Amino acid sequence: MSILKRVTLITAASLIAVAIMGTLWFVSADTAEAASESAAAPAVTAEMKKAATPAVVQGITLKVTGRNKIVVSWKPQAKAVSYRVYWRKAGSKSYGRRTVGSRVRSTTLTVAYKTRYIVYVRAVGRYSTISPCSAGKSAATLSKPAPAPSRYEKGLAAYIRKVNRNVSAANARSMAASFVYWGKKYKVRPEILMGMAQCESTFYHRAKNPAGYYGLMQTSALLGRKYAKVSPSQLLNAHHSIHTGAAYLRANMNAFGNNYVKAISGYCYGTGAVRRGRYSASYANRRIRIANNITAFLKRNKYI
């Protein structure tokens, strides 16, 4: 190797070493600076933690709904940044736990038949502080096995699986029961709700839209809070999504004199847009047509 080549190689190696040493020096300096800032930050004292600790959660109520569900509700706690809900079977030492946001005031638990449950709620504050445990509330699910689904519900479940074979038989039955339950509560035809769900999500309960719409009925987080008091993640539960969608459709039905075309258009475009005449009836007509097809399916297969 020539002297010129050796000098070139040595020089390049030296530059690389200097670059690496410089990089290490800068990283070391940044780390030292961050450590210095961290040391300068005031430590969280016992007094600060005590001041941030929420009080015991009050106003806890339990309501058995549907066939195997308990709705847990509570009053808001001023210092809470989140809530933890604990539940266990009476006589059991094993707990289930769920954490929800500070704006959530209720959550639905799926439980077993003929079983009594004990439920507690605790508020979580700043600095990972947590309130004392609330007094346990107990609720029993149905005292006898749930009645078998009606033939009508079986037909709705069969239609759901005909449209989307990825929906399990159990989930289809649960969806059908929710369509019937919320349809009856809000005086909306279950077939209309199903027609809307088919158009919005093809009965895929975990559907998410980048524009900010969630679940089976593709409602926004704002509508979930307003009509069902649920969080966006809870809208991915079919029961909560159908609840929100049915309540919002009923609000539009009230606004437009029970006119399904305008009410469904209000659901799709917004109530204000329909009032101003800025909508097309094509969206509503498609959903109504699907609802009529569902009724025809039920009759053809002797479910009704």
- Over residues 213-247, the pLDDT tens digits come to 999 999 999 999 999 988 999 999 999 999 999 99
Which of 1-5, 23-27, 51-55 is most confident? 51-55
pLDDT of residue 253: 97
Is the CATH number 3.40.1350.10 carried by domain 151-300? no
The whole-model pTM stands at: 0.59
Domain-wise residue ranges, the chain: 1-41, 51-140, 151-300
Instruction: List Cβ neighbours of 77 (8 Å cut-off, separation of 6 or more).
Output: 54, 55, 57, 58, 83, 123, 131
CA nearest 79: which of 14, 130, 27, 24? 130
Sequence letter at residue 295: T
pLDDT of residue 22: 41
pLDDT at residue 127 is higher than 70: yes
- The position carrying tokens 């047509």 is 289
pLDDT at residue 96 is higher than 60: yes
- Over residues 134-183, the pLDDT tens digits come to 877 777 665 444 566 899 999 999 999 999 999 999 899 999 999 999 99
Mean pLDDT of the chain: 84
- Over residues 283-299, the pLDDT tens digits come to 999 999 999 999 999 99
pLDDT at residue 255 is higher than 90: yes
Sequence letter at residue 245: G
Is the CATH number 3.40.190.10 carried by domain 51-140? no
* Greater model confidence, 140 or 125: 125
Token digits for 20? 């690496």
Strand stretches in the chain, DSSP E? 61-65, 69-73, 82-89, 96-101, 106-110, 116-124, 137-140, 208-209, 213-214, 219-220
